């Protein structure tokens, strides 16, 4: 899938978690719901850091372009080092290491550690990166022209304001993990969920996605998981824009309403 569909699916997934959490008597304070949805929308772009033309590889100028090159080489290296007999030869690292459950959980754990142990600046850093990505993903058409500096300013301002709101007592830093040393630990959950939702999105496209690496499936360790072949579509096709994106918005809207106690349960 392309950036906007990935971001929307990420936001919808977090709002869905919010609805489930409300049903399980762990309702999210509204800042947790909103900030989590934005983090998840941004994190849902992150796996494509192995792909130069992707939104994320351009989001932070030369910094993300350089990081993209490193991640792509690293991914290809890990692919070659762990490839089984049935895995085909590859020239590039796109859709390998960063498109696995292991990577998603690793990113989530990393973000939780930064937010929990890094103090206010740690939280701000995680928020800033993901807000910039969320703006790039959700407002893709508007940003495409390349006003990166404006997006960075928006990300920085948003991160500053939202970090302030989250930090107020009862406004979200203690959701799910209530001990004082566990503040902001939940921030890794939308980060991991976003990466996983990205993989599921890619699994619906023609190429599939090696989510379960390194678990061997048949003669492959990088088995491209996916929906049945007749259901798959090309990234950026009409299915994605006319069917999936409105669907994600609908699911997100209803879930958000449930999560805040405005609808039903």
Q: How far is the CB of 64 from Zn ion (least distance, A)?
A: 15
Using the rule CB under 5 A, is 72 a contact of Zn ion?
A: no
Using the rule CB under 5 A, is 202 a contact of Zn ion?
A: yes
The three-state secondary structure class of 262 is coil
**Angle at 5 (CA atoms; ends 251, 102), nearest 5 degrees:** 95
Which residue has 């390998």 as its token pair?
A: 96
Q: Which is nearer to Zn ion, 56 or 114 (CB)?
A: 56
Q: How far apart are CA 110 and CA 126, in angstroms?
A: 10
Yes or no: say if 7 and 44 are a contact pair by the CB < 8 Å rule.
yes
Q: How far apart are CA 242 and CA 240, in angstroms?
A: 6
Q: Which is nearer to Zn ion, 48 or 240 (CB)?
A: 48
Yes or no: say if 32 and 16 are a contact pair by the CB < 8 Å rule.
no
On the 0-12 / 13-18 / 19+ scale of CB atoms within 10 A, 198 is buried
Rg (CA), the chain: 18
Q: Which is nearer to Zn ion, 171 or 200 (CB)?
A: 200
Q: Which is nearer to Zn ion, 47 or 252 (CB)?
A: 47
The count of C-alpha atoms lying within 13 angstroms of the C-alpha of 133, restricted to the half-sphere facing its C-beta, is 33
Site for Zn ion in 8-47 (CB under 5 A): 47
Q: Please identify, among the stretches 7-15, 21-29, 200-208, 218-226, the one whose residues bind Zn ion according to the rule CB under 5 A.
A: 200-208
Q: Which is nearer to Zn ion, 202 or 240 (CB)?
A: 202
Using the rule CB under 5 A, is 136 a contact of Zn ion?
A: no
CA-based nearest residue to 75, from 262, 236, 213, 226: 213
Q: How far is the CB of 188 from Zn ion (least distance, A)?
A: 20
Which of 18, 38, 43, 48 is close enough to bind Zn ion by CB under 5 A? 48
Q: How many residues bind to Zn ion according to rule CB under 5 A?
A: 3
Q: Which is nearer to Zn ion, 2 or 258 (CB)?
A: 2
| Region of 146 on the Ramachandran plot (φ > 0 left; ψ -120 to 50 alpha; else beta) | left
Q: How far is the CB of 28 from Zn ion (least distance, A)?
A: 28
Q: How far is the CB of 261 from Zn ion (least distance, A)?
A: 35
Q: Please identify, among the stretches 20-28, 135-143, 201-209, 218-226, the one whose residues bind Zn ion according to the rule CB under 5 A.
A: 201-209
Q: Which is nearer to Zn ion, 47 or 190 (CB)?
A: 47
Yes or no: say if 168 and 17 are a contact pair by the CB < 8 Å rule.
no
Residues found near Zn ion in the complex (CB under 5 A): 47-48, 202
């Amino acid at each position: 899938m392309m950036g906007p569909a990935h971001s929307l699916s990420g936001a919808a997934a977090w709002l869905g978690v919010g609805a489930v959490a409300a049903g399980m008597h762990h309702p999210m304070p509204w800042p947790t719901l909103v900030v989590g949805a934005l983090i998840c929308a941004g994190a849902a772009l992150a796996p494509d850091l192995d792909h130069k033309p992707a939104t994320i590889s351009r989001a932070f100028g030369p910094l993300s372009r350089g990081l993209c090159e490193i991640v792509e080489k690293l991914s290809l290296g890990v692919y070659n080092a762990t490839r089984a007999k049935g895995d085909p030869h590859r020239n590039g690292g796109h859709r390998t290491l960063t498109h696995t459950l292991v990577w998603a959980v690793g990113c989530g754990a990393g973000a939780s550690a930064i937010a929990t142990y890094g103090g206010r600046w740690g939280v701000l850093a995680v928020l800033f990166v993901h807000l910039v990505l969320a703006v790039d993903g959700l407002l893709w058409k508007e940003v495409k022209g390349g006003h990166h500096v404006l997006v960075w300013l928006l990300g920085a301002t948003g991160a500053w304001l939202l970090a302030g709101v989250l930090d107020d007592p009862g406004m979200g830093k203690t959701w799910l993990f209530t001990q004082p040393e566990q503040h902001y630990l939940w921030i890794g959950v939308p980060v991991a969920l976003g990466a996983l939702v990205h993989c599921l999105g890619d699994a619906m496209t023609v190429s599939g996605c090696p989510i379960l690496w390194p678990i061997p499936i048949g003669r492959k360790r990088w088995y491209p998981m996916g929906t049945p072949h007749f259901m798959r579509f090309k990234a950026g096709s009409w299915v994605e824009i006319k069917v999936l994106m409105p669907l994600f918005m609908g699911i997100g809207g209803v879930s958000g309403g449930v999560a805040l106690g405005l609808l039903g349960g």
